[in-house]
Structure 1
Amino acid sequence: MASFVQAQSAVIGSDPSSPAPVSVYTVPATKKSVITGIAATNKTGFNLPIQVWVDKGSTDLWIAKDTHIDSGSVSHIEGADKMVLTSGDVVKADAHRITTNGDAFTIVVSVYEDV
C-alpha cells in the first residue's frame, strides 16, 4: 500500500575541493516512488547555491544545479513535484560549505512511496 514519506537531511554542505554529497532519499528495492515536493532552507547568513539531483546509477538527473537561495530563506525546488523514481534511485544534495561543520542547508523531500 502506498504511503507518504518525508525524508530530510539537516547537514548539507561540503568543501568544494572535495565534494561530499548527502543521500537524502533512496527508493526501496522493487518499489517506485513519486516526489511530491522538495524544500531547501539556507541556514547561513549568505546567499548560497545548492545542488539537488537524482542518482540513477550510471546517470545523474539534475533537479537544481547551483540554484541560489537567499540567507535564511526556504525555497521550494520547482520542477521536482510529480517526478517518478524507480527502485534504487537516490535523491542527493550538496552545497558549498562556509563553516567547518558544513551545516549550510536543510533539505526535505516529500515522497509518495510504493506507487
Structure 2
Amino acid sequence: MSDVEWEQRTLCRDESCIGVIGPDDRCKECGLPYESEKQQEFSEEYAASDSEAEEDEVAEDEVAEDEVAEDEVAEDEVAEDDAVTDIEWEQRTLCRDESCIGVIGPGGRCKECDLPYEDG
C-alpha cells in the first residue's frame, strides 16, 4: 500500500474495530456502514436529543414514583386518622332523645338539642 493510499483510507467508525471502509461503504472487518461527517453529526445530535428525552422520561418516572410514595404516606396517615376517628366514634355518647341526631358534648349536654344527658 502506498503512502497516499494509507493517508486516504477511511477508518471504521467503531473505535474498537481495526477495519477500514471499502468500496461498498461498509467496514471490511465488521460490516458496519460508513457514515459521513454530516451523518455522524446528525446521529450524535439525534442521540443527544433522544437521551434528553429518556432523561425527561426518567425524571417523570421518578416524579411519578415520588407521587406514589407520597400517596402511600398520605394513605397511611389517613388510615391512622381513621383509626383515631373510629376510636372517637366508638366512644361517643348519643343523645337520650332517640329522635335527635346529636351527641353529648363536654358540658354534659347534647350538641344538637341541648338536652342534658341525665335528668336532673
Shorter-chain TM-score: which interval?
A: under 0.3
From the two aligned structures, give the one with the greater strand fraction: 1
Q: Over alpha carbons, which structure has the higher Rg?
A: 2
From the two aligned structures, give the one with the greater helix fraction: 2
Higher relative contact order (CA 8 A, sep 6+): 1
